[in-house]
Amino acid sequence: MYMSPHRLSDLIATAIPFPSGHLFHRRLTPETFVTAVSRLNSLAIQVHRTASLRSRQPEIQTYARQMAEGHIWLNEALLTACEASGTPKSMEYTPDIAQQKRLDDLQLCEAADFDFDYIRLQNQIYMEIVILCEQFSHRHSHDRLEIYALTMCNYLRFHLEQFAPGGAAKTPSEDIAPKIV
């Protein structure tokens, strides 16, 4: 069961809120990488927790709880990578103002639109993290942080693929239900 209420390409097209995603962080240092990724992870945790409470579909509630736990683990892994690489800890556990607005918008959206808005926001966050991780892994050789960045890219790409169009026709409930692994 793949979650594909909309085509992945449509979601990705709206995922990056800036015109040139590859130019997002031109001066990405280990410290700015850690700060940006930890904030986005923390935003993802809050988005998934919101979905676990607001979604009307049990499959999405379960998926959201699993993903919130996964992002808690990812922030812990980032902290461990910082310690191992000697990078000063610049973890941020609260969203910035723009991120908080995105979370507020999700929390205030209509119930009928919630699942789609949740999926769209999740994918936007994941695309932003993937871009940061790709940029960091191509520019820096902080072994532990680079391993974290590459692992994060693979992990998030896997979850983004869950939203890719499937082959067989699906019922409406199958269209929105995530593939739980």
Q: What does the block give as tokens for 179?
A: 């593939």
Pick from 57, 68, 65: nearest CA to 115: 57
Q: Report all structural domains of the chain as residue ranges with CATH numbers, in order of start.
A: 28-176 (1.20.1260.10)
Identify the pLDDT of residue 173: 44
Mean pLDDT by 10 residues, the chain (181 residues): 42 45 62 92 96 94 94 93 85 90 94 92 93 82 83 87 56 47 45
Query: pTM of the full predicted structure?
Result: 0.76
Roughly how many angstroms between the first and final C-alpha of the chain, as a whole number? 11
How far apart (Å, rounded) are the C-alpha atoms in residues 139 and 58?
Answer: 42
Pick from 181, 117, 176, 178: nearest CA to 155: 181
